[in-house]
Structure 1
Amino acid sequence: MRVSILGAGAAACGAAAQLSIMGHDPMLWSPSGRSTEALAAGAPLLATGAIEASIRPRIAASAEEAVASADVVMLAMPGYAHKLAFDAIAPHLREGQPVIISSHASFGALYLSRLLAARKLRTPIIAWGTTLTTGRKASATEVAVNSLRSKIDLATVPENAADEALALCTTLFGERFVLREGLLAIALSNLNPQNHLAIALFNLTRMERGESWGQAENVTPAVGRVMEALDAERLAIAGAFGVTVRTIREHYAFSYQLPVGSIAEMNAELHGRGKGGFGPTTLESRYVLEDAPYGLLPTVLLGRLVGRPATLHEAGLTLLSAAYGRDFTRENDLLPALSFDTTTREGLEALARNGF
């Protein structure tokens, strides 16, 4: 299948490599074109680590070209670029053309649904709870893949497209997908924001000074306890909505193939295997700039909707805003576009089932 990937970062390149291994034909689109310049000139894309491949993905010069040549469109960009990407592809999508969001953030599936409804167009929107791979871009033409996840949660808008979406994702990426009870479950399934909050907050001076530091190595028992407490808040909100989501321990076990223990113990095991990775070396990190406004804030708002305050999430959001000298609650461009501040629980649940 021809799969156009919107993005050219580590997640996008990791997905392209896996698609090629599975016998599919990936295309990459970078809005600025800078990230794909070397690939467009003919250099191969090299994946190392959990995926070993050298591929030559097609490169799209525009969002229109990416959509026109695709059987499936896949978004693999930071949350702060999702609205831009949705606005770019919505005028060109075809009836029934699937869109995968990897990973879903801040009810972007509903924003895309509204754009398509304005065109009287229906297409399955597939929301993943996390990305296919973890890793980093080593250069413009190299991606170091730390892990290929064994389990990825998914749901669709509308909900009745779920079975076909599961079959499609399995065809593209293999047997690793788990259906969840709709978009609300996926909205509460991305653990990156809560995990990155604890990791970044307790290592902020290392990031600011540009130090090289092991990420898993520094998830000490104290940091691990905070991560587990943040997880308890998320699980309570999911329970109030009546949806089942994966726990942080399950997430680590499935993402990194680890025995289940405390979060500190699991990170120590990951570090011991030499797969603990390195933390951010700058304050300009997606751990904060993406995850604070597009991950922590939606969890806080969902907690308010069901009377389960996400106290630690909100405190972390406030502390990060103070440290950065900016208000991360005002940097989300998707929720205001959905008038989320006036949304009721009942209205949100209906939209999560059927879209606009």
Structure 2
Amino acid sequence: MRILVIGAGNGGAAAAVELSLAGHEVCLYARSASTLDPFASEGIGFEGLLGEGRLRPSGLTSDLAMAIADVEAAVVALPVYAHGAVARALAEAGWGATRPIILNPGHTGGVFEFETAYRAVRGELPPLAEFSTLAYVARKPRPDVVNITGRAKALRAASLPSGRAALDLACVLFPGAYDSGDVIATGLSNVNMIVHPPGAMLGASWSEATGGDFTFYVEGMTPGVMHVMRALDAERIAVAAAFGHVLPTVIGEMRALGTVPADADPDDYRAIAAGAANRLIKAPDTLDHRYYVEDFGHGLVPFTVIAQIAGVATPVADALIALCTIARGRGEVATRGAAEMGLVGCSRDALLARVGVAST
């Protein structure tokens, strides 16, 4: 199959490797040509769970019109704060209403923001699906190499009612992906919005003082951080319940993904430090790191929007958002709010109808 991977960072490079190894023709697109330049001469180097070697995608381009010309589907593997921009760009470039798009990942509210931005340019939405989290734990040790230390074993996926073709394709292209019911379930199963903000916020001074020279999930996972994480997780589970979903703790979710030990107690948040894929990951080096930019403004913020629609209070999430905004000292920052998701004035019944679920 001819597949366009949008984004050449950690996740995009990993997706291009996995899909190419599976026999697909992959065109890798990045907004900046400089991101692709390291792959131009010898291809993408890879190491870790998918083996070791180099491969050349069928195409490398920073020209979106060229990228979409001869592909059958797209996998968007960009930072989630780029979803609105890439939706508009695809609509303007003439993607059309038939070719599926898969957000890997959508995180919280990704499908809602993508749909809203796309429809603002072109009325008819293509089949659209999302994963709850990135399929990989991956980092680039060098600009031309991606090290894949984790691959989700069971990956939640869902689509809008019109996007079944994208959901079916997602489950074929990415083994282990499964239909999670609706995009409220996938959005509220975003593990990053639970495991990153407490440690990022409570460890902000340590990150700034050391430039992130400590292990985020081991040295940074102190009892105090875990207490806050547990309370934040309880808010997430309560919001899910208000929409009829019974979700596991974040440890239970990570156990299914394979990023904590398979025998981990779902109520023991110390298990995060025991996950082999996470053990060596360093802390953020500045407050401009994606743990702050992405997991607060595009994780916790949309979570609180959905919580307000559900009528569930989220004092822990609200406090973390407020502290992050103050600590970063940036004033107004881009977020995935109600307007970006098309949820201004939305009721619980209206949201359920939008995702294709009958209200109860």
In the TM superposition, 1:188-267 aligns within 5 A as: 188-209=188-209, 210-218=211-219, 219-253=221-255, 254-256=257-259, 258=261, 259-261=263-265, 262-267=267-272
Counterpart CA distance in 2 for 1:309 and 1:213 is: 34
Counterpart CA distance in 2 for 1:352 and 1:118 is: 21
Match of 1:80 in 2: 81
The answer to whether structure 1 residue 103 and structure 2 residue 75 are counterparts is no
Aligned-pair distance for 1:230? 0.9
The answer to whether structure 1 residue 34 and structure 2 residue 34 are counterparts is yes
Aligned-pair distance for 1:186? 1.5
In 2 relative to 1, CA 2–246 (structure 1 residues): closer, same or farther, beyond 3 Å? Answer: farther
CA RMSD of aligned residues (A): 2.3
Aligned-pair distance for 1:314? 0.6
Could you tell me which amino acid in structure 1 is paired with residue 64 of structure 2?
A
Aligned-pair distance for 1:28? 1.6
For normalisation by structure 1, the TM-score amounts to: 0.90
SS where residue 147 of structure 1 aligns?
strand
Aligned-pair distance for 1:56? 1.2
The answer to whether structure 1 residue 324 and structure 2 residue 325 are counterparts is no
Aligned-pair distance for 1:85? 0.8
Q: Write the deviation string for residues 44-90 of structure 1: whole angstroms up to 9, x where unpaired.
A: 21121222242112212322222222211111111221111111111
SS where residue 77 of structure 1 aligns?
coil
Q: Write the deviation string for residues 169-196 of structure 1: whole angstroms up to 9, x where unpaired.
A: 233122x112112111122111202211
Match of 1:126 in 2: 129
Counterpart CA distance in 1 for 2:127 and 2:224 is: 42
In 2 relative to 1, CA 118–82 (structure 1 residues): closer, same or farther, beyond 3 Å? Answer: closer
Match of 1:292 in 2: 296
Counterpart CA distance in 1 for 2:22 and 2:291 is: 30
The answer to whether structure 1 residue 151 and structure 2 residue 154 are counterparts is yes
Match of 1:168 in 2: 169
Aligned-pair distance for 1:24? 1.4
1:281 to 281, 285, 302: 285
Aligned-pair distance for 1:122? 4.4
Match of 2:6 in 1: 6
Gaps of 5+ in 1: none
CA contact (8 A) 1:180 1:244 kept: no
Counterpart CA distance in 2 for 1:341 and 1:257 is: 37
Gaps of 5+ in 2: none
**What percentage of aligned pairs have identical amino acids?**
26
In 2 relative to 1, CA 246–141 (structure 1 residues): closer, same or farther, beyond 3 Å? Answer: farther
In 2 relative to 1, CA 310–327 (structure 1 residues): closer, same or farther, beyond 3 Å? Answer: farther
Q: Write the deviation string for residues 268-300 of structure 1: whole angstroms up to 9, x where unpaired.
A: 4236x8844222222221100111111101111
Q: Which moved more, 1:221-230 or 1:109-118?
A: 109-118
The answer to whether structure 1 residue 342 and structure 2 residue 355 are counterparts is no
In the TM superposition, 1:38-77 aligns within 5 A as: 38-39=38-39, 41-53=40-52, 54-57=54-57, 58-77=59-78
Counterpart CA distance in 1 for 2:346 and 2:316 is: 23
SS where residue 322 of structure 1 aligns?
helix
